[in-house]
């Protein structure tokens, strides 16, 4: 039952979320923000004149309502007998009220988590195909197209996940330096123009942490499957520094034995033939050259110091160096872009023929310049993502990993596409939490997976390069938690 009541709203007042009767309001908050991204939690007092999202779990009944733009919609239901059903029923009441008032149907329905594939996989294991489809389409209101894509990706990932055991792991190496900061970026990174003097001492400490990490991996009988060097922009290092990094990795890890070795060579304004040849010489088998857009105007608007022609040059140099697996990122919804412009960027990327193409829906993170500067000129990404999905499938690419971010406009997702035989293994391992990720460098987070995936522990490195260098002894002590974890959650798989 729904009731619509006229309500006068004060213009410019931010929506507020009021939750009562629940121990945790986390799910309700994020559900409300699918429809009203700027909504904030507040006590009931002080909501006069504001748009209000309300949820209350009473002793006998549940109630949810929305007051927005001159309308008030309320829904109620008896309180379920099972305590675990209370939050679900209340969430569904609120979701239906928000859909009615806003006219919005989120593509992933009620799902607010960043890993919808985990839920799909769990539903399939618990109840089979029919039950999983019914729960996600009917109970959670996921659009059929999103469910079909998720189901396809789960099937494609299965052989990769089955080949990775509890004693396998991946290595992540953080290089938090860039030639310049892109306006959409929220990652911890420092520009080489301003803080390039930190690079040499940073690499000193990074080599020490690589040695410590290799020592712990060997002591616990772990098997390295993939290496991923990210950032920042690793190729922001000069050629001598880059070789020093690659040598440190090769000194402590058997790079020839890994299934995949990726380095982000993302920016053509700091990546040239010499660096690409170095990567190939040290056994790197997968590189990312990330245009984000092939429109020079959009690139300038987001702070990139290169043109589309620079991207084509960098791609050609990578091929000339012998790189046979190249990923290219594009972002849907960048400021100044349009549906037609994004479609042209997709055609330009497809013309190059990379093995991987990752499509990101722009995410407005609080630390990005777009948000800090209060810019609201980002484009709506929904049509762009839909176009990319159709065009990539037609070109023979297959979606192989998917994740979501809570602050993405239109509640969309990031999808990795690949030509058959070129799935990015590290992307699958980290997003599906298939095994431990031992991470080194500033801002890196080690994720330890044990007991068949039922136990996850995170160890966080210091966030900024200067802090990482200064507090390195403290970091070393914290990192030894890897040994404690494996001593406690040793699984049944033998070290061989």
Is the CB of residue 469 less than 8 Å from the CB of residue 205? yes
Q: Are residue 144 and residue 24 in the same domain, yes or no?
A: no
Q: Are residue 148 and residue 285 in the same domain, yes or no?
A: no
Question: Does a structural domain hold residue 111?
Answer: no
Q: Are residue 75 and residue 122 in the same domain, yes or no?
A: no
Q: What is the largest CA-CA distance in the chain?
A: 70
Alpha-carbon distance of 216 to 448, in angstroms, equals: 13
Output the pLDDT for position 462: 94
CATH number reported for the structural domain that contains residue 355 in this entry: 3.20.20
Question: Does a structural domain hold residue 389?
Answer: yes
Q: Are residue 131 and residue 85 in the same domain, yes or no?
A: no
Output the pLDDT for position 42: 79
At a CB cut-off of 8 Å and minimum separation 6, what does 257 contact?
224
Q: Are residue 38 and residue 97 in the same domain, yes or no?
A: yes
Q: Are residue 417 and residue 334 in the same domain, yes or no?
A: yes
Q: Are residue 379 and residue 418 in the same domain, yes or no?
A: yes
Report pTM. 0.89
Q: Are residue 85 and residue 130 in the same domain, yes or no?
A: no
Domain that holds residue 300: 160-488
At a CB cut-off of 8 Å and minimum separation 6, what does 150 contact?
116, 117, 120, 402
Number of domains in the chain: 3
Q: Are residue 11 and residue 138 in the same domain, yes or no?
A: no
Question: Does a structural domain hold residue 108?
Answer: no
Query: How far, CA to CA in Å, does 135 sit from each of 132, 306, 335?
Result: 5, 47, 37
Q: Are residue 351 and residue 261 in the same domain, yes or no?
A: yes
CATH number reported for the structural domain that contains residue 51 in this entry: 3.30.160
Question: Does a structural domain hold residue 493?
Answer: no
Question: Does a structural domain hold residue 82?
Answer: yes
Question: Does a structural domain hold residue 109?
Answer: no
Q: Are residue 62 and residue 27 in the same domain, yes or no?
A: yes
Question: Does a structural domain hold residue 60?
Answer: yes
Question: Does a structural domain hold residue 459?
Answer: yes
Q: Are residue 146 and residue 242 in the same domain, yes or no?
A: no
Q: Give mean pLDDT in consecutive 10-residue pieces for the chain, a chain of 496 residues.
A: 34 79 91 89 68 94 93 95 94 97 94 91 92 94 96 96 86 91 60 78 97 96 96 93 98 97 92 97 97 95 90 98 98 93 98 97 63 58 94 98 81 94 96 95 94 88 94 92 89 44
Structure tokens at 45: 């007092």
Output the pLDDT for position 451: 79
Last residue of some domain: 58, 77, 102? 102
The backbone torsions φ and ψ at residue 449, rounded to the nearest 5 degrees and listed phi first, read -115, 125
CA 78 to chain centre: 38
Output the pLDDT for position 41: 84
Last residue of some domain: 102, 137, 171? 102
């Amino acid at each position: 039952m729904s009731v619509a009541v006229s309500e006068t709203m004060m213009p410019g007042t931010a929506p507020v979320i009021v939750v009562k009767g629940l121990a945790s309001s986390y799910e309700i908050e994020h559900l409300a923000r699918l429809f009203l991204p700027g909504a904030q939690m507040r006590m009931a007092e002080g909501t006069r004149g504001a748009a209000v999202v309300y949820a209350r779990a009473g002793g006998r009944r549940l109630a949810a309502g929305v007051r927005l733009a001159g309308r008030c919609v309320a829904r109620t239901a008896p309180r379920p007998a099972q305590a675990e059903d209370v939050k679900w029923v209340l969430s569904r009441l609120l979701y239906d009220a928000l859909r009615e008032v806003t006219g919005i149907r989120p593509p992933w329905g009620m799902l607010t988590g960043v890993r919808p594939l985990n839920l799909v996989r769990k539903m399939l294991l618990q109840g089979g195909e029919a039950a999983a489809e019914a729960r996600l389409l009917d109970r959670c209101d996921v659009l059929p197209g999103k469910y079909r894509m998720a189901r396809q990706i789960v099937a494609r990932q299965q052989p990769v996940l089955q080949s990775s055991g509890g004693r396998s792991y991946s290595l992540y190496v953080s290089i938090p330096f860039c030639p310049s900061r892109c306006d959409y970026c929220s990652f911890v990174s420092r520009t080489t123009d301003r803080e390039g003097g930190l690079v040499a001492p940073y690499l000193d400490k990074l080599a020490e942490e690589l040695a410590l990490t290799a020592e712990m991996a060997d002591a616990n009988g772990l098997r390295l499957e993939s290496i991923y060097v990210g950032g920042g922009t690793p190729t922001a290092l000069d050629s001598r520094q880059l070789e020093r990094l690659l040598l440190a990795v090769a000194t402590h890890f058997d790079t020839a034995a890994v299934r995949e070795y990726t380095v982000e060579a993302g920016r053509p304004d700091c990546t040239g033939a010499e660096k690409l040849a170095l990567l190939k010489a040290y056994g790197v088998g997968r590189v990312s050259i990330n245009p984000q857009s092939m429109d020079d105007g959009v690139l300038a608007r987001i702070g990139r110091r290169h043109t589309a022609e620079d991207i084509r040059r960098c791609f050609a140099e990578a091929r000339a160096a012998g790189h046979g697996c190249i990923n290219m990122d594009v972002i849907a919804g960048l400021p100044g872009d349009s549906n037609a412009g994004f479609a042209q960027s997709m055609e330009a990327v497809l013309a190059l023929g990379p093995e991987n193409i990752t499509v990101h829906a722009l995410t407005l993170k609080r630390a990005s310049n777009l948000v800090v500067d209060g810019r609201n000129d980002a484009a709506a990404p929904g049509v762009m993502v839909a176009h990319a999905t159709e065009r990539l499938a037609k070109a023979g690419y297959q979606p192989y990993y998917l994740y979501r971010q809570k602050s993405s406009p239109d509640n969309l997702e990031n999808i990795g596409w690949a030509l058959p035989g070129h799935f990015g293994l590290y992307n699958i391992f980290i997003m599906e939490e298939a095994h431990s990720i031992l991470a080194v460098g500033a801002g890196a987070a080690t994720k330890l997976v044990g007991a068949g995936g039922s136990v996850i522990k995170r160890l966080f490195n210091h966030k900024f390069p200067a802090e990482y260098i200064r507090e390195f002894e403290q970091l070393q002590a914290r990192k030894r938690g890897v040994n404690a974890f494996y001593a406690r959650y040793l699984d049944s798989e033998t070290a061989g």
